[in-house]
Amino acid sequence: MITSQVKKIMIAKKVTMAQLANDAGIAGETIRRARGDEIRLCRLETLDAIAKALHVKISDLFKE
């Protein structure tokens, strides 16, 4: 199972969902889904935008 680390990174960096959505240019609903425990389906370009907005590597956004 691949689990999302987005919520933990956001908390550590004190980034709100609205801030991340704005910075990544992604809908708030997409951020909400990315923060969920389990990543089911996500485009690479979406992960790239989130990672860039959080200043982390794409691989930091999830773990197996």
Per-residue pLDDT, averaged over 3-32, amounts to 95
Architecture in CATH of 3-63 = Orthogonal Bundle (1.10)
What is the rounded distance in angstroms from the CA atom of residue 56 to the CA atom of residue 48? 9
pLDDT in tens, 18-47: 999 999 999 999 999 888 876 677 889 999
* Mean pLDDT of the chain, nearest integer: 91
Q: Which residues share a beta bridge with 38?
A: 3
Predicted confidence at residue 64, as pLDDT, reads 81
Indicate the pTM of the whole model.
0.88
What is the rounded distance in angstroms from the CA atom of residue 34 to the CA atom of residue 4? 7
Q: Which residues share a beta bridge with 4?
A: 62
**DSSP, residue by residue, 2-57:** -EE-HHHHHHHHT--HHHHHHHHT--HHHHHHHTSSB-----HHHHHHHHHHHTS-
% residues pLDDT > 90 (the chain): 70
